[in-house]
Chain A
């Protein structure tokens, strides 16, 4: 924009403004600025150091994760219980309770985000503990909302022979299309 009369003050205010504003506007509006702003030089020193520390921290995290498990849950006594969902449209999960040999070992209430993660293929490790080799009974109690949105509570159980090595048990919530009902199954991983 230009001043029509060219008076002092007005020109000094206006003339430089519009092109600047417009240029800035269009650049930023395009989302392009991030790219044009990007520094083509190699990693800046500080950022490179931060990356190195993060990398080392992740490696340490991994090693400590393994160390913790080996220390607290040795392979010969380890038992892990998982929960997964296959579709699950007939059941809105609220929580799961797990008992082993009559003793409750885990009770977990799920957030919406966690349920969503399960729906999308995630598997939740509900419980990690120690058990002696031999026969054990596991009971899973599922609470939530059933097909008509009503409160729903179902239990499933399995007796398994724990070997000398680690034992993994997966509780699976699935849909029975024929019965239009949820189904709760237990899979013993060999």
Chain B
């Protein structure tokens, strides 16, 4: 079973516990101060999802941004976040590949340090502790300040998994952490010391946490940690046969807290260790009234009559053993009923009642546990790490199945939209194409080109006549006609005056046209430029229309094809998802049955002991002298 880093923390309670979960959940970019503004809108969108813990939309947005090449700035940051999100989503292998690739490509020491940190985390969670330690050693000093707690936590956990307690002790002793995290560090230091055989020093640190009364000592989390420290301390003292120390620590555990039952059990044992069986009766009596599901309560059912027996209260002892036997038998019946319910496939529906709360919400949801054969076992089942992992996968698959159903509906809608668009376009296409044909823009452009060439020639040849006004052209035509007549009778004496006048008039006309030529040329060229612009705009508009018409036609076919492909992928994935859902459900049932079986074994063992002790009590009673108390 694969493990996710978050889930193991949820499942296991305090190491650095819940606080770290929050830090890790927003791990890659979390910071005490607000981050710099997103320089790419796409990255801003990713953060908007990410900070709301909408992990799948955040992953999707990153993948889309990468596909569309939307990042100009946040590439490495995005890779780190994506790796963290994949981890959260249970995709350890993919996350690992991302961090390894970052280490290959990035030269930024901070990015590299963060990538090493996450790789160490993945390796630790996968059970590769030596490799995790090697990755931790590569982090160096580049890790941002906000990672200090997480780094210490991870390193300590790795060292303790490797049973290198001395190194864990050195690490935890030298760490100075902010706020409540220092209490966690001392707590874990105490545990490490005890494991390393330095019980005396370990007890000292557990005691320090157990009596902590700092400003934040009233919070639920620190109270739970204190309870846990006092409980561990109490049992450690019991092992060291320090009865007073044990009693003192166990008495500090809150009666309404989650560790109360085990504390009450230990308190009774502490009294019996001191030989005070009467004193042991008090905590054990309280305990027997509690939920018989609790292992400590089950043990107290035996411990209480044992204490009576030590006090020679044979009748109460016998009565107590009978109560115990009755209690164990009832519990066996309940366990069997729960197993039947699991086999009947009721487990996941019972769990679904509590869904959407996440592991942290379970304790607060206990009041809402369904009143069924299975209901009372849901919380203890969820406390198991493997079960939690399996259920998380189950829920992810359920969510995936729902999303695929939504996509299936959307794809149908897309297809309808595309059909409608195709029909609309088919209706418009002939008209649009016809309007393009009648504009004769090409003819106009050709004419303009000819005109431009003509203007060039006029300028080059200073062809003043070419720019003559209509009146001048008329005049010139008349003069040309007159000139033709005069030319028919060259040198005629009667026409000599006319020839002179004709020459003067012609000269005058030419002079006028020549004078006006520069201005006329300028005007003509200006008009020509305006025409050129107008024609260019028209050409552009026509290109747009053409592009739009063509794009409309061309875009539809590949879109339809993509919808078809997506349709197939949705169907395939739905099939696989449903198969996996069934398999995951079977795995959950197997895990639940194993846990119920384990409990059954324990209760049966208690039952055997209770029956044996009851028989022994009867045996003793049969041998009591007359006048002595009989059971």
Contacts and interface: CB of A to CB of B under 8 A. Distances in A.
Q: Do A and B come from one complex?
A: yes
B125 interface: yes
B44 interface: yes
Interface stretch (A63-71, A152-160, A176-184): A63-71
Contact of B161 (A32, A82, A117, A123): A32
A61 B400 CA distance: 10
Contacts of B188: 30-31
A31 B309 contact: no
A12 B15 contact: no
B488 interface: no
Contacts of A86: 37
Interface in A23-77: 25-26, 28-41, 43-44, 46-51, 53-68, 70-72, 74, 76
B566 A67 contact: yes
Contacts of B609: 9, 12-13
B465 interface: no
A45 to B, nearest CB: 9
Interface stretch (B58-66, B142-150, B448-456, B510-518): B58-66
B260 to A, nearest CB: 14
A26 B385 contact: no
Contact of A117 (B43, B51, B92, B232): B51
Contact of A46 (B91, B403, B563, B584): B584
Contacts of A61: 56, 60, 63, 403
B38 interface: yes
A47 B393 contact: yes
Contacts of B577: 53, 57
Interface string B36-67: 11100101110111111000100111011001
A149 B456 CA distance: 74
A49 B573 CA distance: 12
A33 B612 contact: no
Contacts of A5: 310
A10 B12 contact: no
Contacts of B2: 43-44, 47-48, 51
A117 to B, nearest CB: 4
A124 interface: yes
Interface string B1-18: 111000011011111110
A40 B128 contact: yes
Contacts of A138: none
Interface stretch (B213-221, B299-307, B326-334, B345-353): B299-307
A5 to B, nearest CB: 7
A17 interface: yes
Contact of A54 (B90, B386, B551): B90
A9 B612 contact: yes
A136 interface: no
Contact of A56 (B15, B90, B275, B573): B573
A33 B269 contact: no
B22 interface: no
B45 A49 contact: no
A98 to B, nearest CB: 16
A67 B50 CA distance: 23
B601 to A, nearest CB: 13
B570 interface: yes
* Main SS class of interface, B: helix
A119 interface: yes
Interface in A83-134: 84, 86-87, 113-114, 116-125
A61 B57 CA distance: 9
Contacts of B303: 13-14
B46 to A, nearest CB: 8
B208 to A, nearest CB: 15
B589 interface: no
A39 B160 contact: no
Given A18-B238, A50-B584, A84 B38 contact: yes
A175 interface: no
A65 B49 CA distance: 15
Contact of B569 (A1, A50, A60, A170): A60
A62 B67 contact: yes
Contacts of A121: 34-38, 44, 47, 51
A10 B309 contact: yes
A56 B566 CA distance: 12
A150 interface: no
Contacts of B36: 121
B118 interface: no
Contact of B309 (A7, A29, A118): A7
Nearest to A4: B275
A58 B275 CA distance: 64
A38 B559 CA distance: 46
B439 interface: no
Interface in B578-617: 580, 583-584, 587, 609, 612-613, 616-617
B138 interface: no
Interface string B468-499: 00000000000000000000000000000000
B224 to A, nearest CB: 11
Given A28-B12, A61-B403, A71-B418, A40 B41 contact: no
A38 B126 contact: yes
B612 A84 contact: no
Contact of A26 (B11, B195, B269, B548): B195
B47 A122 contact: yes
Contacts of B612: 9, 12
24 contacts: A9-B309, A12-B612, A13-B302, A13-B609, A18-B269, A22-B238, A31-B9, A32-B191, A35-B157, A39-B127, A46-B583, A47-B2, A49-B576, A55-B94, A67-B414, A68-B414, A82-B41, A82-B45, A114-B52, A120-B35, A120-B47, A121-B36, A122-B51, A123-B44
Closest 10 CB pairs of A and B: A123-B44, A31-B15, A122-B48, A34-B8, A40-B127, A117-B51, A9-B613, A38-B127, A35-B161, A62-B63
Interface of A: 1-2, 4-5, 7-10, 12-14, 17-19, 21-22, 25-26, 28-41, 43-44, 46-51, 53-68, 70-72, 74, 76, 80, 82, 84, 86-87, 113-114, 116-125, 164, 168, 170, 189
Given A1-B269, A32-B161, A63-B569, 16 more contacts: A7-B309, A9-B309, A10-B309, A14-B269, A28-B13, A29-B191, A35-B124, A35-B127, A35-B161, A38-B127, A50-B584, A62-B67, A76-B548, A122-B47, A122-B48, A124-B45
